[in-house]
Amino acid sequence: MKNLIKFEFRKLFKSCTFYICGSLAAFFVTINILSTYILAVSIGEMPTGSICLSFIQTAINNSNFTLLSAIFVSIFVCADQAGKTIKTIYAKGYSRTEVYFSKYIVSLIATIIYVLVAYIFSALFSFSLFGVKDITLPSDTFGLSFVAQLIMIITYHALYFFVSNSLGNTGGSIAICILGPAFVNIILSIFDLAIDSSKVSFLFSSYWLTSLLNVSQNSFMTFRRGIEVIIAGIIYSTLFIGGGYLINKTKEA
């Protein structure tokens, strides 16, 4: 499996998609920060350095992470099946388990790299524009929010990997990965409106991925809600990874 992981990394670093998506992530966060700075200058009210922490905390959404990672994971995971090279890999004696998890590990690392790029560019660019004066943590759960974000990054990647590995079709995988979570959120929101709120004390949509990711970036996230995000993310990740593995075991090479 070690050789397979090396093989996947070689493909990753030769992939134009990897660099394009990473560059776009940096571009999007930079544009977001720059537009805020221009607005602040135009109205003559420059915020304190604490806004830099907010930019870092919301870097995932500001970088269009879900869109870029959906595109990258779909292309990267489906490449072998689209190019029929998967048969050659199996012919060399590698098991389905080795192939599945080597690709999972490398694509997850690449996804985390995108987020790190977003964090780093958010920090460097925002601090260079707004300075470091009067910085205060936005909440006591500031650190917990990044733990929750990490779990949600893993969860979203697990979903995209599950879809891409199961379909094996790049176009279809991109479409489902981008539109699927939003569609499920709409269905759950409609369901929330239809049920009797006096009998159910929570919203089903609040435990879906889109809501959980947004909560993890919220400065006002409570400790309890942060733990809920982490637990829900772990459950979703386990289901997606396990489900994808089982489907992979039954697929034809």
pLDDT value, residue 100:
92
Measure CA of the first residue to CA of the last residue in the chain; give whole Å: 18
Identify the H or E element spanning 106. Answer: helix 96-130
Average pLDDT of the chain to the nearest whole number: 90
CA distance 227 to 116: 22
pLDDT value, residue 18:
94
Coil, helix or strand at residue 108: helix
Matching residue, tokens 């090279």: 85
pLDDT value, residue 44:
78
Q: Residues 44-48: what's their mean pLDDT?
A: 76
pLDDT value, residue 198:
64
CA distance 208 to 211: 6
Is residue 83's pLDDT more than 70?
no
Contact 79, 89 (CB under 8 A): no
Q: Residues 26-44: what's their mean pLDDT?
A: 91
CA-to-CA dists, residue 61 to 68, 95, 156, 213, angstroms: 11, 37, 13, 9
pLDDT value, residue 179:
96
Contacts of 216 (CB under 8 A, 6+ apart): 145, 148, 149, 151, 152, 226, 229
Beta-strand runs (E) in 44-189: none
Averaging pLDDT over each range in 74-83, 141-150, 198-207, which range is the top one?
141-150
CA distance 80 to 124: 37
Please state which of the ranges 87-101, 136-150, 224-238 shows the lowest mean pLDDT. 87-101
Render pLDDT for 85-97 as a digit per residue (tens, 0 to 9): 777 777 788 788 8
pLDDT value, residue 197:
65
Annotated domain spans of the chain: 2-250
